[in-house]
Amino acid sequence: MPRVFFPRFAMLTCFVVTLCWNLDLNFSTVHHHPRRGTIAATTACIASFLGSQQTTAETQRTVLITGANSGIGLATAIDLAGKGWKVVPLCRSQGKLRETLEDITDLVPDANIETTPPCELSDLRSVGACINKIKTSGNKFDALIFNAGIDGAPFQKTAQGHELHFAVNHLSHFALRNGLKDVVKDDHRVVSVTSSAALDAEVDLSDLTWEKRTYGRHDAYAASKACNVLFTDELARRFHGKGSFASANCIDPGPTATQIVRYAYPERALQRKDMTPMQLEKQARMFGLKTPAQAAQGVVWLSESNEVRQLPDGQWWNGPKILFPSVELSWRNEAMAKGLWETSEEFVKPFL
């Protein structure tokens, strides 16, 4: 059902409850679920209460978000749902999809969420099937947010023979963009979540499977995050070449207290999964990290702010209105971006 109105009373209630929650005021009537009510809650509720306009089927914007069940992706989904966007979250299992729905609607009760079949990003067959389903859903996307990611996995090849970081962090998103290019609005935005780890990257298009070089977990993550930047550069160039109103940007959200550490520090990742917002905020402060809601601000800004329309795209950002420091990088050039695009195109072609 299209979302046609936004009840301000519900949002005010949500805002007050969440604020009290974050201030650690204990109401016995408020049922605390550890996974729910991320720190994003306050932000989302304030945004919803203050920013909610009457949203009609005509004005509602639609976003697809990968990795929407956790960390920065979930905080982004909550924020945009609170601002009246229709959210299409991609998760890899029905169970995670259900939890995501609960997490979003707990904070944004009248959120408009459309579910898709599970999408396992390490398997291009699953991504292809998901694309086919989304293409027939009747949605026209205003934004595609390519956020899902893994960091520090031991060497592993996917069913299609690709290295895992490359497959999940880059190739699946490349497939999603190309597979969905006919179901986006003319002025849609593509936002990719990269990392400052890309600064350490060495991109070797002739050895994407790490057979000639010694595999390193950080090296593979760094290279896949460089691919996010190269994808953005090439996509923006292609948009400009066609005189398109669409835009592509990428962003490093900065070090954030999420489950991205699941390979490096599995216990810490598990602990974070069950933390209350207060506990997570405390840990973030202690380690000098951002909370997921803080990290999501830049992603949200790139996806929905009118201000972004006035700015050149094809940029690597660090936060709202903050560009990532410009540095000379061995891999960041037009030939590499074009080469990666063409290689990726060949890899995904059989699945689209």
Ligand X SMILES: NC(=O)c1ccc[n+]([C@@H]2O[C@H](COP(=O)([O-])OP(=O)(O)OC[C@H]3O[C@@H](n4cnc5c(N)ncnc54)[C@H](OP(=O)(O)O)[C@@H]3O)[C@@H](O)[C@H]2O)c1
Provide the annotated active-site residues.
Answer: 221
Question: From CA 76, how far away is CA 40, in angstroms rounded?
Answer: 8
Which range binds ligand X by CB under 6 A, 13-21, 32-40, 258-266, 312-320? 258-266
195 in contact with ligand X (CB under 6 A):
yes
* Binder of ligand X out of 48, 112, 258, 315 (CB under 6 A): 258
Question: From CA 262, how far away is CA 269, in angstroms rounded?
Answer: 5
148 in contact with ligand X (CB under 6 A):
yes
Q: Which is nearer to ligand X, 17 or 63 (CB)?
A: 63
CB of 245 to ligand X, least distance (A): 26
CB of 293 to ligand X, least distance (A): 11
150 in contact with ligand X (CB under 6 A):
yes
Q: Which is nearer to ligand X, 11 or 260 (CB)?
A: 260
* Binder of ligand X out of 48, 147, 249, 315 (CB under 6 A): 147
CB of 30 to ligand X, least distance (A): 25
284 in contact with ligand X (CB under 6 A):
no
Report yes or no: 49 and 11 within 8 Å, Cβ to Cβ: yes
Site string for ligand X, 103-142 (x = CB under 6 A): -----------------xxx--------------------
Pairing mode of beta strands 247-251, 184-193:
parallel
From the CA atom positions of the chain, what is the Rg in Å? 19
168 in contact with ligand X (CB under 6 A):
yes
Pairing mode of beta strands 112-113, 86-90:
parallel
Q: Which is nearer to ligand X, 71 or 84 (CB)?
A: 71
Which range binds ligand X by CB under 6 A, 20-28, 57-65, 247-255, 278-286? 247-255
CB of 26 to ligand X, least distance (A): 27
Which range binds ligand X by CB under 6 A, 50-58, 143-151, 230-238, 329-337? 143-151
Question: From CA 137, how far away is CA 64, in angstroms rounded?
Answer: 12
Q: Which residues contact 22 (CB under 8 A, 6 or more apart)?
A: 39, 41, 42, 277, 278, 281
Question: From CA 234, how far away is CA 238, in angstroms rounded?
Answer: 6
69 in contact with ligand X (CB under 6 A):
yes
79 in contact with ligand X (CB under 6 A):
no
152 in contact with ligand X (CB under 6 A):
no
The dihedral built from the CA positions of residue 227, 89, 35 and 52, taken in this order, carries a sign that is positive
Contacts to ligand X from residues 198-227, by CB under 6 A: none
Name the residue whose CB lies closest to ligand X: 71
72 in contact with ligand X (CB under 6 A):
yes
Q: List beta partners, residue 163.
A: 157
Report yes or no: 319 and 327 within 8 Å, Cβ to Cβ: no
Q: Residue 67, Cβ neighbours under 10 Å: how many?
A: 27
* Binder of ligand X out of 42, 70, 247, 249 (CB under 6 A): 70
Contacts to ligand X from residues 260-279, by CB under 6 A: 260
Interacting residue ranges for ligand X, rule: CB under 6 A: 67, 69-73, 92, 96, 120-122, 147-151, 168, 193, 195, 252-253, 255-256, 258-260
